Each structure stands twice: as structure tokens, then as C-alpha cells.
Amino acid sequence: MPRAYWEAKDSKDDLKKEVQKKFAVGYPKDNIIFQQPDRAILYQDGKLVMDVDITKEQELVDVVRQFFEYRAPAIAQWEKAAEEFGDRVKDHATALLDLIRTQEKTNKKFIDAFAAFMQLCRQSINPNLAESAVEEMLIQHLLTERIFRSVFNNPDFAQRNIIAVEIEKVINALTSKHFSRAHFLSSLDRFYGAIEETAATIDDFSQKQDFLNTVYEKFFQGFSTKVADTHGIVYTPQPIVNFMVKSVEEILQREFGKSLVDKGVHILDPFVGTGNFIMRVMREIAEIQKSALPHKYEHELHCNEVMLLPYYIASMNIEHEYFEQTGKYEAFEGICLVDTFEDQRIEQLGLFTPENMKRVERQRESDLFVVIGNPPYNVGQLNENDNNKNRKYTTKNKTGIDDRVAATYAKASKATLKNKLSDPYVKAIRWASDRIGEEGIVALVTNNSFLDQIAFDGMRQYLEKDFDQIYVFDLGGNIRKNPKLSGTTHNVFGIQVGVSVNIFVRKR
């Protein structure tokens, strides 16, 4: 996609004349610079915007900046609409909630469907799930369903996705007293105007993907702040994802004589978010050996997500990536709507739909070689006594992830205060260590507090025992430790806690 043109001339040319000559033969005028050693002429959108003496430092800087910062009008409009939509996600979700609450009082069909659905969710996700969390799922469904349909031109999503099909039944009951769903939701049309209008002019999928990342973060940070804290809702910066995927491939080759493309190398992202890691792994595979992708995609790529909105986004993103690489649509069956920390409890009921259950079982039976991802970690709360308590995962036979942390990292610790070990990122490292089996790689980007804080002494001891090689890239950024730093500029996630990229290797 051409973004700009640069035409270089030498000092003998008459630059103004050269410009006319080039335009006469059809050079594009949307963003083009004509430059001589001492002069630059910049045209944007058909108009002369700068004609400067570039021997003057500031003028050189100005013209180069103007040139690189150019956004085609359609893209600029789209970006503005995306930002506005993000800013209003909270109002939007609140308006949807009002619509749902009204039906809860008046619509018998919906009341029944909602009660049945709530029971299903409690069985499948969390026995203590609040009614409001289930309402939120409906909101997430309605929000993404419309975005997929009208911004991504993917109207079939809700009929193809195994979870969406189930929730559609509840939504049908929700809107049953109205002439149509569109009529029921018409009061929300105002939120979509600009984004739907500008989407029609954008073909670039990655632009739209950025928009989904914004919706993902803004929904949880603006509307569902508790979930954002306990579940660690932030997407992972692309350079970190790239680095981790490349590192895993290198270690696979060097230490195991294997590659991501090899049959039998199962890969799991247990906290998939919007799907960045899986998509990046797919790109890596396609780059090394494209013919290996279909088998991988069908059998050896796995991921989990516990929230509906990212589950939908990841499903669509991953399926789209596959379509880009192969030209075919193929439903991605490696994604499960499930709580990773719970998923080893075989006795668990339901899990939404039989198909989802089947997928979870298939994943459990897979011999995973690589676990990669960005687990949740508590961003806001300092300790367990804060309001947003993390959920407990214990079982009678002591196989729950909290039991495992207690029996290992906590037991081996000499610290008196061990509550920092209940941070979900600690569970994630424990979980992945247990999950990979006799050999494999765990690559997680996490809070870096386990590197030197006292409460993690037992964890460090175990990590040394559990693995043969450990690579830690400490990216710093602990704002509480160093108040001179700022979260937005000194932390890769723009958060307050320090971050590290960790790669743990276990060899037989």
C-alpha cells in the first residue's frame, strides 16, 4: 500500500519546473515530496503544503515530519471514528444494559431464557458468577455481533461460532417483543454512525484489527473495571509478541532440533485475549513452511479465553489470519471458552455447549510442547485484602492451581507474608510448568516481581528445580519502586508494575 513518494533531484534542476513535468506525466499528488539538496516541496491531497529551505534544520525536520505523519483522508477519518467509538464504549454498554434490564422486568420469554442461560454459565464458568456478569456477556455479544457484521462485513459470525449460536437464543428472547432486533436496538444506532460509515472506505484489515484492540481495552477499562483488574485486560505490544515467538522458534531448533512447523509440536496460549500470539505463530509457520499450516491449525494450535468479548475477537482474528494465509475459511476449533485455571478439573459439567466441551477435552489430551502468552496479573490491587479478590481455585484432592502454589512456591518460602503469591501471574507460571510435561518451553510475559521480591523466594527455588534453562528479559518499569518513572513512558504496557519476558526451558 503506497503511503508516500519521494522524488530526488540534483542541484542543477529547476525544482518547480520538475514538479510540473512530473504531474503532467501523472505522478500521484496525495503525498509526494520533491527534493533537492537544499530545497523540498511537499504536496499533499493535491495541494502545495510546503516549499522550504532544508539547509535550515528546523525546516528540514518540519517537512519530513509533515511527510511521515500524513494520513490519507479516509484513514484519518477512520482513526477519528475509532477513537470516538472507544471513548463512548462505556455509554454504549450502559445503554445496552438499560435495554436488557427493561426486558428483565417485562418479558417473560426473556426472563426464562436468561435464567436458563445463567445456570449454564454458572455450571461452565464459575459457580459464583453474578447476574451482572451474565448481563455483561449479553452486552459483549451484542456489541461484537454488530461490529463484526457491519464493520467487518462478517454477518455469518453469529451463526458459525459455536458459542455465539447459543447466546443468540437468549438474544432472540430478549428482542422477541419487538418487531425486529434492529428495531429493538435502534436507539443505539447513534453510536455506530461514524464507524460504520468510515469502515466502508477501509479495506485494510489491520486498521480494523487495531480498532478491535481498542474496543477490547476500552470496554473493560471503562465499563467493567473490576474484570479489567482481575483478568489483566491489556493487549500485548506487537514487538513483544514477535520477540517471544521468534525466541521460541530459536530455542526449539537449538535445544530440541524441532520447529514450530513440526508435526507433534502443540502450542497453547492459555490467555488468548484478542489472539495476537496465535496469529503471530501462524505467520511464523507460514513463513517457514506454508504447507505445514493447515495441519497445525486443525490439530496443534490451542488457546483459551474466559471472557466472551475477547473470545469472539480472537476467533474472528485467527480465522481471518488463516483465510489470509490460505485463501480458505476454516472454523478454528482450537479455541475454548474456558477458565484455564479450572480446566484440569475433569469432573466439570457442561462448559456451554457439547462442542466447546469436546474442544476442552481435546486440548487436555494434547501433549503440549509450548505454552506462550500474556497471563493476567493484578494491575491495580496491591494485595489480597483489596476489593477485587481473585477467585479461589482449590479442590478436595488438592489438585487446584491454588493448592499447587501452596504446596510448592508458598511452602518453600521463608517469607512471613506470602499473599503476593495469589497474583494470577504466579498461578499462570505454576500452571504452565505443570502442564508441559517432561519437556517443553514456557514463554510468558509477566509482572517481574518474582525476580527479586522476598515473597517469591520459594517460587525462584522451584523454578530452578523445574527447568533446565531460564531466560529472563527484565524490562523494568516498576513505577512504585522508582517514582521518577512514569507508567505511560517507562513501562511497555503503560502500567505501574514492572514487566519481564520469561522463557523457561525443560529438557528430558
Binding-site ranges for ligand SAM (CB under 6 A): 231-236, 271, 273-274, 276-277, 304-307, 310, 339-341, 373-374, 376
How far is 37 from 19, CA to CA, in rounded Å? Answer: 15
Output 34 or 235, the one with its CB closest to ligand SAM. Answer: 235
Output 185 or 227, the one with its CB closest to ligand SAM. Answer: 227
Output 110 or 220, the one with its CB closest to ligand SAM. Answer: 220
Least distance (Å) from ligand SAM to the CB of residue 328?
A: 24
Output 275 or 458, the one with its CB closest to ligand SAM. Answer: 275
Output 51 or 434, the one with its CB closest to ligand SAM. Answer: 434
How far is 309 from 287, CA to CA, in rounded Å? Answer: 30
Least distance (Å) from ligand SAM to the CB of residue 93?
A: 16
Q: Which residues does 235 contact at the CB level (< 8 Å), separation at least 6? A: 213, 216, 217, 273, 274, 276
- Beta carbons of 495 and 475 less than 8 angstroms apart: no
Least distance (Å) from ligand SAM to the CB of residue 239?
A: 12
Least distance (Å) from ligand SAM to the CB of residue 213?
A: 7
Helix-then-strand count for the chain, H and E: 20, 11
Output 35 or 390, the one with its CB closest to ligand SAM. Answer: 390
Least distance (Å) from ligand SAM to the CB of residue 273?
A: 3
Least distance (Å) from ligand SAM to the CB of residue 177?
A: 33
- Beta carbons of 303 and 335 less than 8 angstroms apart: yes
Least distance (Å) from ligand SAM to the CB of residue 244?
A: 10
Output 375 or 440, the one with its CB closest to ligand SAM. Answer: 375
β-strand pairing of 266-269 with 301-305? parallel
Output 271 or 467, the one with its CB closest to ligand SAM. Answer: 271
Which of 374, 190, 368 minimizes the C-alpha distance to 266? Answer: 368
Least distance (Å) from ligand SAM to the CB of residue 6?
A: 34
| 31, containing H or E segment | strand 31-36
Least distance (Å) from ligand SAM to the CB of residue 340?
A: 4
Query: How far from chain centre, in Å, is Cα 104?
Result: 32
How far is 482 from 498, CA to CA, in rounded Å? Answer: 10
Q: Which residues does 247 contact at the CB level (< 8 Å), separation at least 6? A: 443, 471, 503
Least distance (Å) from ligand SAM to the CB of residue 103?
A: 27
Output 140 or 408, the one with its CB closest to ligand SAM. Answer: 140
Instruction: Quote the radius of gyration of the chain (alpha carbons, Å).
Output: 26
Output 81 or 234, the one with its CB closest to ligand SAM. Answer: 234
442-457 burial string, b = 16+ CB within 10 Å, else e? bbbbbbbbbeebebbb
Cell numbers standing for residue 422: 495469589
- ∠ CA 477-480-484, nearest 5°, is 70
Which of 372, 53, 428 minimizes the C-alpha distance to 240? Answer: 372
Output 192 or 220, the one with its CB closest to ligand SAM. Answer: 220
Cell numbers standing for residue 451: 525476580
Least distance (Å) from ligand SAM to the CB of residue 276?
A: 4
- Beta carbons of 433 and 492 less than 8 angstroms apart: no
In one letter, which amino acid is 142?
L
Residue in the shown chain whose Cβ atom is closest to ligand SAM? 273
- Beta carbons of 303 and 333 less than 8 angstroms apart: no
In one letter, which amino acid is 186?
S
Output 273 or 440, the one with its CB closest to ligand SAM. Answer: 273
The 3-state secondary structure of 200-232 reads: CCCCCHHHHHHHHHHHHHHHHHHHCHHHHHHHC
Angstrom CA distances, 308 to 145, 148, 169, stand at: 11, 14, 16
Q: Which residue has the cell 503506497?
A: 2
Least distance (Å) from ligand SAM to the CB of residue 61?
A: 34
- Beta carbons of 272 and 340 less than 8 angstroms apart: no
Output 276 or 315, the one with its CB closest to ligand SAM. Answer: 276
Q: Which residues does 233 contact at the CB level (< 8 Å), separation at least 6? A: 216, 217, 220, 221, 227, 273, 307, 310, 376
3-state secondary structure (DSSP) of residue 437: coil
Cell numbers standing for residue 69: 505523519
Cell numbers standing for residue 361: 477435552
Least distance (Å) from ligand SAM to the CB of residue 71?
A: 24
In one letter, which amino acid is 238?
Q
